[in-house]
Structure 1
Amino acid sequence: MMEAIGDITATCDVSRLDVEGPVFDTRIQGGVLADGLNGLIAGLCTITPMSVFAQNNGVISLTRCANRKAGYCCCFFLVLMGIFSKFAAALVAIPSAVLGGMTTFLFASVTVSGMRIISTVKFTRRNRFILSAALALGVGATLVPEWFSFVFTYRGNNKAKKGLIDAVELVMATGFVIAGFIALILNLALKEEEDEVDGKIIELPSSTSRSRRWKEVEAEGGKDVEEGPVAKND
């Protein structure tokens, strides 16, 4: 679910669509629902669960083609290659170096899209704390994926219980899942900053700007409306 939300958001961004608002929320709901149904159907067909692919966002950003008909054509060719193995063999024959270079660039493009989405958020103290906590724990889980394996110490013969523990450990070892949960919980728990009114940050005048204002008023020999008359030294 976390991966689907992130990928759909990145898809809307590279497709030059809004990434907030009621229309965007309906896209998220439909995308997550479709992803869940695909995983359910894949399980019934005794294959690995299907999920959304972030590489497609890199393709959209490079080609600037976000038309649904292009996606339908891709689905047609994928089904065709699944039925006729000769077509799939042509893709398998592509050298690994070519595929590796292409996918590396695509993933880098997805990362840049995510950074662009984050840059649209106002970096208040609250948002900086949420982002820092999510990134710290997410990157930590990625660097040390076995950190959760020491929480459960079950060594029995119950295969169902052992399978459940393995599934939980697999989820907790995924960095973006940890980061998503932490960001979601902190966003709901922490209140908005008090210096924000209607989404705008109130900026107080600095001491430098106030002193500059005083010098201008003294030079004019008048008085400041907010501060009252200016006392001059003879």
Structure 2
Amino acid sequence: MSRSPPDIIYGVNDKPPTLSLLMMGFQHVVVITLTLIIPVLIAKEVGLSDQQANFFISMSLLATGIGTCLQAWKWRGIIGSGYLCPCICGPSYLSASIMAVHTGGLSLLFGMTAITGVFQIAISRIISKLRILFPVEVTGVVVTMVGITIIPFAIPSFFGTTNTNLINPVVVLVSLITFVIICGFTIWGKGWTRLFPALIGCIIGYLLSLALGVAGDDTVAKISTTPLFGFPDLSYFGFSFNPYLLLPFFIATISSTFKNVGDITICQKTSDMDWKRPDFSNISAGILSDGISTLIGGLIGGLGQSSSSSNIGLALGTRTISRYISFSAGGILILLAFFPKLAALFLYLPDPVMGAMSIYMGSFMIVAGLGIVTSRMMDARKTFVVGSSLMFGLGVHMLPDIFSQVPTVIQPLFESGLSVATLVAITLNLLMRIGIKKQETLTIQPDDEISDKVFAFMEKQGERWGARPDVIRRATSALSETCESLFSTGRTTEPVSVTAIYDELKIDIPVSYTGKELILTDKRPTPQEIMKDPDGFSRLSGYMVQRYADRVTNQNLGDKWVITLHFDH
């Protein structure tokens, strides 16, 4: 059973009090509804009528609510990751969706979205076999870029330059006040205020924006004229299919899946103090959940769904990662699909509020991603993979026209810094693996400086393999103690052969020598036993080796002994 970090207020399986659960659900809904800009952009780009746009947005909200609950469900370990990892309208589907509506209207978009869900369901069944594509450094790059991709949206909103190049001082003032309130309650808040910093900041920022006139000239009018309750008009629903759009939608699915891997990985790491590597069976269940959510989106008339990195950032900031919050947020989203006036409150969030919240959440994602990258030892190969992929990913945002000449059919893969960085990281990782041996040998002579030689050997291999630093430190100590003991206690006078064998799950170090058995014991010898027993020092060394390694086996092969040090990785 996983152990939650000590600073977590509500762990994955903790159920907060009902009122707190409801308020935390609202807090996450505020973040989720920021992504309603995706269906709004599609509606504006293709000229949908107000009625069509309202239907599209309502059904997208409904799909998001269902998907948010589904992701937290963890049904038999098959569907849902079981984490607070809400769904949003997937940004990866923007370009392909616009192409579909331009080509065949909403019916074509709904049909292709449903097929996209089937794509993702199929990918979820084989993702565990593709774990070689996602070592920790690649996953860390994905998570880091998820945070970085918020910047092009967050900074213009923060400074009021969304529709102009001129900074709006009033917008900046509201943004700063909102940001300071959110950060202040996150860091210094006590009791309930620490649980709801984003919600408190959002409410105060919203009221300030309305009072200072930066919420939009017609925001209040739009909200007031929106009906309180209404069923979506199903006359806008339909299905059609175009085989020429299969490739762009498949590429969008791949981009969304890359993001799913990073998001669920950070959920795993955040919830478990003993986290070592991504659990791909759990990731598979999470991707399957998002695939089903996207399929549902297409079947009811909504947009494709993806996991929400911003909400994970919010969970990290508030230190509340209970999956029950997803059920609260999901239920609210489902209700919003039938209460347009309430949905409009979120839909018309002022720019300074969105900017402050986005920067707050993105900062946690960036730092979390870098933490994943540095959880393994880095050598020149891995540094090249991480650095190059981040540079290409950042290049998309700094030079947005750089991939403008890419064929339209694969444009979704290159329109996001996240997609480009992930593609570069995966490609370079596979190339950099060429020439890396998973097994290395070392011979230690009786007159060698054993500690120095073992340290240099294990550090070099640890960097090449990208091993966990703590495991390499324990392996170095165990191997040094073993070899020192063999020579100092007269167990052997011959050279000792060491082989280090690595895979993603373990490190095994067989130590082969000719001589007497090294005594291994789980019981620490007393000072009297050490001084009086001829094998006292050998027993002490054997005890120390047992303490450093996860498991130790000793095998006799005629005139040779093989001590194998096992380390879980």
In the aligned structure 2, how far is the partner of 1:99 from the partner of 1:169?
27
The residue that corresponds to 1:5 in the other structure is: 261
**1:211 match:** none
Question: Shift in Å at residue 63 of structure 1?
Answer: 2.1
Give the deviation of 1:75 after TM superposition. Answer: 0.4
Among candidates 399, 407, 421, match of residue 179 of structure 1: 421
Measured after TM superposition, the shift of residue 20 of structure 1 is: 4.0
Q: C-alpha separation between the residues in 2 aligned to 1:35 and 1:175?
A: 21
| Gapped regions of structure 2 (runs ≥ 5) | 1-256, 441-459, 477-569
The TM-score with structure 1 as length reference comes to: 0.70
Query: What are the ranges of 5 or more consecutive residues in structure 1 without an aligned counterpart?
Result: 153-165, 204-234
How far apart in 1 are the matches of 2:353 and 2:364? 17
Aligned-pair CA distance for 1:48: 2.0
Q: What is the CA–CA distance in structure 2 between the aligned matches of 1:7 and 1:44, rounded to whole Å?
A: 25
1:51 to partner: Cα distance: 1.0
Q: For the residues of structure 1 that align with 2:420 and 2:259, how far apart are their CA atoms? A: 11
Q: How far apart are residue 131 of structure 1 and its match?
A: 0.8
Instruction: Tell me what 1:112 maps to.
Output: 367
* Paired residue type of 2:461: E
Partner amino acid, structure 2, of 1:146: D
Offset of residue 151 of structure 1: 4.4
Amino acid at match of 2:380: R
Whole-angstrom CA distance in 2 between matches of 1:167 and 1:41? 25
Query: How many matched pairs?
Result: 189
Deviation at 1:18, TM superposition (A): 5.4
Q: Tell me the alpha carbon deviations over residues 115-174 of structure 1, each in whole angstroms, 9 at most, x when there is no partner.
A: 22112121111110111221122222332333333244xxxxxxxxxxxxx241132121
- Distance change >3 Å, CA 39–CA 186, structure 1 → 2: same
- Give the residue type in structure 1 aligned to 2:284: Q
Q: In structure 1, what is the Cα distance between the partners aligned to 2:314 and 2:415?
A: 28
The answer as to whether partners of 1:137 and 1:178 remain within 8 angstroms in 2 is yes
Name the structure 2 match of 1:137.
Answer: 392
The equivalent residue for 1:212 is none
- Within 5 Å, give how 1:1-234 maps onto structure 2: 1-16=257-272, 19-21=275-277, 24-92=279-347, 94-152=349-407, 166-191=408-433, 192=436, 195-196=460-461, 199=467, 200=472
For residue 73 of structure 1, report the CA deviation from its aligned partner: 0.8
1:231 alignment counterpart: none
Closer/same/farther in 2, CA of residues 21 and 7 from structure 1, 3 Å limit: closer
* Higher relative contact order, chain-length normalized (CA < 8 Å, sep 6+): 2
Measured in 2, the distance between the counterparts of 1:79 and 1:151 equals 38
2: CA distance, partners of 1:42 / 1:18: 36
Structure with the larger strand share: 2
Match in the other structure for 2:497: none
Q: CA shift at 1:16, angstroms? A: 3.5
After superposition, what is the alpha-carbon deviation per residue over 1:176-212, rounded to whole angstroms, capped at 9, x for unaligned?
1111122112222323377316844999xxxxxxxxx
C-alpha spacing 1:9/1:53, structure 2 compared with 1 (3 Å): same
Quick one: structure 1 residues 148 and 113, their matched pair in 2 at CA, closer, same or farther if it must change by over 3 Å?
same
For 1:145 and 1:170, how far apart are their aligned partners in 2?
13
SS at match of 1:51: strand
How far did residue 92 of structure 1 move? 4.2
TM-score (norm 2): 0.31
Structure 1 residues 17 and 188, CA gap change in structure 2 (3 angstroms):
farther
Aligned equivalents of 1:96 and 1:7: distance in 2?
Answer: 25
Aligned AA for 1:150? Q
Change (3 A) 1:140 1:81: same
Whether contact under 8 Å (1:14, 1:60) holds in the other structure is no
User: Aligned residues: percent identity?
Assistant: 27
Q: Given the superposition, is the C-alpha separation of residues 57 and 69 from structure 1 closer, same or farther in structure 2, using an over 3 Å criterion?
A: same
SS at match of 1:150: coil
Q: How far apart, CA to CA, are the structure 1 residues paired with 2:381 and 2:369? A: 19
Sort the Cα spacing of 1:133 and 1:94 in 2 relative to 1 into closer, same or farther, 3 A: closer
Match of 1:230 in 2: none
Cα distance in structure 1, aligned partners of 2:303 and 2:276: 32
- The structure-2 alpha-carbon separation of the partners of 1:19 and 1:183, relative to structure 1 and needing over 3 Å to count, comes to farther
Secondary structure of the residue that 1:103 maps to in structure 2?
A: helix
RMSD of aligned C-alpha atoms?
A: 2.7
